[in-house]
Amino acid sequence: MDRRRRINERKPRGDSNANSQKEIAENIKSLGVSNVPAPKSSIHTLAIIGQIEGHVLLPTQNKATKYEHIMPQLVNVEENSEIEGLLLLLNTIGGDVEAGLAIAEMIASISKPKVSLVLGGGHSIGVPLATAADYSFIAPSATMTIHPIRMNGLVIGVPQTFRYFYKMQQRITEFIVKHSSIEMKKLQDLMSATDELANDIGTILVGKETVEHGIINQVGGIKEALGKLKQLIEECKK
């Protein structure tokens, strides 16, 4: 009996491996990443995909990025001494303005090097998110839609409503201008264009057009984005 117990004790147990796999699965389900952050990497990768969810829950069939999941990760990036840089991957249709702008402000205020890469699309409130990084890239086929803000639900036809719209729009345009090379007048012209979108106003920019207008720094992919981020990290160490 004692010999059998000793043999069983020598057998490796899979509990730790099972717990690790369970933790990874839970992170993917809740946060969209397999680890927070990657234990063997000094670069934290943050993906903002689908629609940015604000204070109102989106339907379950919507692919969404929840701001309450993103904000703690950004705090961790700033606080964790093992993380040296942030890689931001964007493929978003936009979403809640205040939630998106809050995330953009947090990204911009991080002291460590940060690079963004627009893949597929960085529309609407995705524009300030892309420009919040120290350096931004866009894939050649990716697009960005520049348009004024919209509001759902009850709209009261009084001067205060229009002033609120104006202030909200100013917050977004001023952030984009501050964190990119585009001029305010040009950005406003893109937002108010009437010959680009059907049944709407605004402008769709593809790949290098965003660079030509000064919104994004460079056309490129994951190789270029990682290369630039590593370069910025090395410069910070000097």
Please name the amino acid found at residue 139: A
From the candidates 116, 124, 136, 180, give the one annotated as an active-site residue. 124
Concerning whether 111 is annotated as a catalytic residue, the answer is: no
Concerning whether 55 is annotated as a catalytic residue, the answer is: no
User: What's the rounded Cα separation, in Å, for the pair 132 and 106?
Assistant: 9
Residue found by looking up tokens 């717990």 in the block: 19
Which of left, alpha, beta for 225 (phi over 0: left; psi -120 to 50: alpha)?
Answer: alpha
Angle among Cα 28, 33, 36 to the nearest 5 degrees reads 115
From the candidates 44, 123, 147, 213, give the one annotated as an active-site residue. 147
Supply the residues annotated as catalytic.
124, 147
